[in-house]
Structure 1
Amino acid sequence: MKKVTIPLIRLIPGLIIGPGSWLGPYIVMNSLFLPALIQHLDAANKVSLVALFSTMGMIVAAISNMVAGALSDRTRSRFGKRAPWIVVGAIAFMISMIWASFSTGIANLLIAWMVGQAALNFIVAPMVAWIDFAPEDGKGAASSAYGGLGMALGNNGFNVVGALFLSQYRLGFVIFGIIAFVGTLIAVLIVHEPSNLEEKLEQPAKKEKVSWSALSTVFPKWSIGRDYYLALIAKMFQGVGNFAITGYILYIMTDFLHQGSQTQSSIQLINMVMLVFGILMGLLAGPASDKFKVLKYPVAYSTIFLAIAALALFFFFRNTTGILIYAFFAGLGMGLWNALDNLLNLRVIPDQDRVAFFLGVYNLGNTVTQAIAPIIAAAVISIFGYSAIFFVSFGFALVGGICMLQIKSVAR
C-alpha cells in the first residue's frame, strides 16, 4: 500500500494554523478564564477546585485521546482518516465551551469542561498524525511547523489577546470556542487529506480475550518500546515543569508577585516574549535538524533553559525584570522543545501502522500535564507556599531532559 504524502506547501500552513487554533483557545480558557470563573463561583476553594478540574480532565483526556487515535488509524472515508474526527471534535469543543460560559454552578461547569476535554482530544490525536504525511526529507520542517510555530502561536499568542478578556471571561469562553472551531476547519480545508477509501485495514485473525498478552499488543513491552516510553516520560516531566507555573500564572501574578493592576500587562509581556522565541525556534530548529541530522540533543538540552526560567522569578527579581528573565528562558526552551519533540517521537514509535495512536498518546503531554501540574502545584502551594512551585518546575524539567538523553535509537 502506497503511503499518503501531502506537499509541504499545503501541509505546513495546516500544521501551523491547526494546533494554534485548538491549543490557543484551550490555553487561554484553562489558564485564565476557567480560574477566573471558578474564583467567581467559589473563591474560598479556588485552588483545590482548579486541582479537581485538572484531575478529572486528566482522566477524560487520557481515555479520549487513545480512543480518538485508535479510531482515526482505522477510519476510511473520502475525506481521509484524520479530517472527519478533527472536524467533529472542533464542533463539540465549541459547543461545550459555550455551555461552560453559561454555567452558574461548579457542578455544571465541571460537566461542560469534561465534555470539552474529550472533544479536544478528538482534534489533538488525529491532527498531530498529519506530520507523518510529510515527505521524508521534510518531516523536520513539518514537526517544526506544528510544534514550533503552531504550538508557539497556541501557547503564547492567544494569551496576549486572552488577557484582554479577564474581566469578561464568560464572553471569552464563547469567542475562543468559536475561534477554535473556525481555525481548525480552515486547517482541515488547507491540508485537504485525500480519500483513503481504498486503504485496506488489517483484520485480526480471531477475537482474543482480554489478557496481559493482548494488552501488550496495544502498549508494547519495555524491551520493544523503551525509547518511546522514555520520550513519553520526558514529555510528562517537562510538561509538568512548564505548566506548574503557567497553570497558576494568574494567581502567581496576583498572590505571589502582587502585580495588582499590572497583572494583565505582565501576562501579556510574558506571552509576547515567549511568542517571539517560539516563532524563531519554529522557523530555525526544524530545517536545522534536517540539515545537520541532530535531534535528540537540542530537545534534551532545551530543558536547561526551562529550569533556569523556573528559578528566575524566585531567586533573581520578583518584579518586571524577573518576569522578563523568566519569559526569555522559558520562551527559548519551550520553542526549541516544541519545534522538535514530535519529530523525535515519530522516530521512536514502536508500530508505524498506528502513528495517530502513539503520537496521540505522546501528545497527552500537552493536555494531561496541564491537568497533573495544577494538582502537584496545589499540594505544594498549600504546604510550602507559591515560592515552592519554582523548585518543583526546576526539578521536573531537568528529569525530563535526563530521560530524553537516555534514548538510544536516535544517536544525536
Structure 2
Amino acid sequence: MTHTVSADRSVRTAGPKFVVAYIAALLGCYFALITPASVTVALRLQQIDPEHKVGALALALGLGALLAVISNPLFGHLSDRTTSRFGMRKPWLIVGIFGGTAGLLVVAFATTTTTVVLGWCLTQVLFNAGLAALVALLPDQIPPERRGVVSALMGVCFPIAMIGGSFVAQAVAGLPPFWMFLLPAIAAPITVVILCAVLPDRRLDPAARTPFAKRDIARMFSFRPRHNPPFAWACLMVFLLSAGFSTFTTYLVYYLSDVLGVGGGEIAHSAFVVNLIAFGIALPASLAGGWITDRFGRRGLMMISSAVMLALALAVMIVARSVPMLYLSAAIAGVGLGGYFCGHFAVPAALLSGDGEAAREMGVVNIALTLPSSLVPVYGPALLSFGSSASTNYPVLFGSGVLACLLAIPVTRKIHGLNRGVERP
C-alpha cells in the first residue's frame, strides 16, 4: 500500500498495528547490529587471532563505525529521492536489512581477521541503509502530537537489544561460533517484512524530485557552529558523553579477560551481567529522568549529573580488581546512562535552527552519537600500550573516558537557559 506524494510531505495517522510493527522492527535491527558490535565480534576475533585481537578489533569496529556514520545520511538522502512504485522506504528496508544480515553471516563463518573486517564493514553499510529508511518513518507516519510516546519506545530499544544480545551470546557460548551471530540476526529480516506488510509507504512523484547535484552530498555532512551556537555546544556535549561511555563498552570483553582474569567460557556470561545491571538500571532511570525534565525543566542539570555518574563509573573500573567491583561500576553507569538517554536527543532537538534543516541537523546529532564508537577503537590501542608491552594499560584508557565525561560539564553549561527549561537563549 503506497500513497503518491509531491515534494510536500504528508503525515498520516498510523494505527497501533503499525506502531507495534515499527518498534519490533527497530528492536530486531538493533538486536542484530548491537550484539556483534558490543560482544560477539570481539569474541570471534579473540578465537581467530588472540595475539592481535586488540588491533584487529580496532580495525573492524573503527572502520565499520566510520562507514556507518557515512552510510546513514547518504542512504537517507537516496531514500528521500526514491521514486519506486513500492514506495520511498520499503526498497531500502528490504535491501538494507537483508543485505546486512548476509554480512553478518560472512562474519559468522569467517576464519581470518580480514574476512571478519570485510564482513563487518558490509554489515554496517547495508544495515545503516535500512536504518536510515526505518528512522525516517517516524516523521513520515507519526503525527507530531504522538511522536513523544513513539520516540520513548524507540529509545528503550537500544538497552533492551544490548541486554538481549549479551544474553544470547552467553547462552550459546558452548555452541559453534556462528550461532552467536545467527540467532541475534534472525529477528531483523522477519520483523522488517512484517513492517513492510502493514506500512502505508509514501511514494514520490518523479516530477516532484529535484535534480541531483553533487553539492547535496557535501551539504549533508556540513556543520556550521556559528550559525547556531547552542546547537553546536549540544552536539559537542553528546559527542563527549558518547566517547566516555564508548570506552566502557568497546573494551569490556578484553577488560574481563586481561584485568579481571575471567576465563574464556565465562566472559560472555560476565558481559551479559554487566550489561543487564547497567541497562536494567538505565531503563527506569531514563523514564524517571525524562518525566522530571519534562515537568520541571533542568535538562542541563540532568546532563551534568549524567556526566558525573559516568565519570565515576569509569573511575571505579580503573581501580577495580574483581568482578563485583565491575558490577558496582555498571550500576553507577546505569544511573548516568539514564540521565544521558533522556537528554541526548531531547536537548539538541530543542535547539534546531528552525529554518527547514531539521533532518540535516538531526543527522549531525546522529554523527555525534556514533562517531566515538569509531574513534575509541582507533586511539584505544595506543592508550592501552602506553607504558605496557602487553597492551593492558586500562587505567589510561578509562582515564580518557573520565576526561571526556568531565569535559562535557563545562560544555553543557555553555548552553544558556537549559536549566530554566527554556532551550533557546
Gap change, CA 1:332 and 1:186, over 3 Å in 2: farther
Say whether 1:266 aligns with 2:270.
yes
Contact 2:317-2:329 at 8 Å conserved across structures:
yes
Structure 1 residue 400: Cα displacement: 3.3
Corresponding residue for residue 247 of structure 1: 250
Gap change, CA 1:44 and 1:333, over 3 Å in 2: same
- Distance in 1 (CA, whole Å) between partners of 2:343 and 2:25 is 17
- Distance in 2 (CA, whole Å) between partners of 1:327 and 1:188 is 38
Structure 1 residue 95: Cα displacement: 0.7
Corresponding residue for residue 394 of structure 1: 402
- Distance in 1 (CA, whole Å) between partners of 2:100 and 2:322 is 37
- Distance in 2 (CA, whole Å) between partners of 1:408 and 1:5 is 36
Gap change, CA 1:2 and 1:245, over 3 Å in 2: closer
Secondary structure, aligned partner of 1:327: helix
Secondary structure, aligned partner of 1:341: coil
Which digits, 9 at most, give the CA deviation of each residue in 1:38-96, with x for residues without a partner? 12222221111111123322332222122022223334566654444233211111111
Corresponding residue for residue 307 of structure 1: 311
Secondary structure, aligned partner of 2:111: coil
Corresponding residue for residue 203 of structure 1: 210
Say whether 1:57 aligns with 2:57.
no
Gap change, CA 1:355 and 1:328, over 3 Å in 2: same
What letter corresponds to residue 377 of structure 1 in structure 2? G
- 214-223 vs 166-175, which deviates more? 214-223
What letter corresponds to residue 346 of structure 1 in structure 2? A
- Distance in 1 (CA, whole Å) between partners of 2:410 and 2:18 is 32
Aligned residues: 405
Gap change, CA 1:8 and 1:304, over 3 Å in 2: farther
Unaligned runs of 5+ in 1: none
Q: Among 375, 382, 386, which residue is 1:379 paired with?
A: 382
Contact 1:140-1:287 at 8 Å conserved across structures:
no
Gap change, CA 1:218 and 1:247, over 3 Å in 2: closer
* Percent of matched pairs sharing the same residue: 21
What letter corresponds to residue 95 of structure 1 in structure 2? A
Contact 1:19-1:150 at 8 Å conserved across structures:
yes
- Distance in 2 (CA, whole Å) between partners of 1:225 and 1:288 is 27
- Distance in 1 (CA, whole Å) between partners of 2:21 and 2:357 is 21
- Distance in 2 (CA, whole Å) between partners of 1:5 and 1:24 is 28
What aligned pairs does 1:6-405 form with structure 2 within 5 A after superposition?
Answer: 6-7=13-14, 9=16, 13=20, 16-76=23-83, 81-132=88-139, 134-147=142-155, 149-167=156-174, 168-186=176-194, 192-197=199-204, 201=208, 203=210, 215=218, 219-260=222-263, 262-293=266-297, 295-315=299-319, 317-350=320-353, 353=356, 355-384=358-387, 385-405=393-413
State the TM-score, normalized to the length of structure 2: 0.82
State the TM-score, normalized to the length of structure 1: 0.85
Secondary structure, aligned partner of 2:349: helix
Gap change, CA 1:201 and 1:301, over 3 Å in 2: farther
Which digits, 9 at most, give the CA deviation of each residue in 1:277-302, with x for residues without a partner? 23314544445544445544424432
What letter corresponds to residue 378 of structure 2 in structure 1? I
Contact 1:101-1:173 at 8 Å conserved across structures:
yes
Gap change, CA 1:183 and 1:330, over 3 Å in 2: farther
- Distance in 1 (CA, whole Å) between partners of 2:371 and 2:406 is 19
- Distance in 1 (CA, whole Å) between partners of 2:213 and 2:204 is 27
- Distance in 2 (CA, whole Å) between partners of 1:290 and 1:93 is 37
- 9-18 vs 108-117, which deviates more? 9-18
Contact 2:14-2:142 at 8 Å conserved across structures:
yes
Gap change, CA 1:363 and 1:387, over 3 Å in 2: same
Structure 1 residue 235: Cα displacement: 2.4
Gap change, CA 1:354 and 1:122, over 3 Å in 2: farther
Contact 1:70-1:357 at 8 Å conserved across structures:
no
Cα RMSD for the two superposed structures: 3.2
What letter corresponds to residue 397 of structure 1 in structure 2? C
Contact 1:78-1:195 at 8 Å conserved across structures:
no
- Distance in 2 (CA, whole Å) between partners of 1:23 and 1:209 is 32
Gap change, CA 1:300 and 1:105, over 3 Å in 2: same
- 387-396 vs 160-169, which deviates more? 160-169
Contact 1:222-1:229 at 8 Å conserved across structures:
yes
Greater relative contact order (CA < 8 Å, ≥ 6 in sequence): 1
What letter corresponds to residue 159 of structure 2 in structure 1? A
Gap change, CA 1:338 and 1:53, over 3 Å in 2: same
- Distance in 2 (CA, whole Å) between partners of 1:338 and 1:126 is 22
What letter corresponds to residue 329 of structure 2 in structure 1? Y
- Distance in 1 (CA, whole Å) between partners of 2:132 and 2:346 is 15
- Distance in 2 (CA, whole Å) between partners of 1:403 and 1:187 is 40
Which digits, 9 at most, give the CA deviation of each residue in 1:86-136, with x for residues without a partner? 332111111110122121222222211111110121133333344445443
**Structure with the larger helix share:** 1
- Distance in 1 (CA, whole Å) between partners of 2:285 and 2:210 is 42
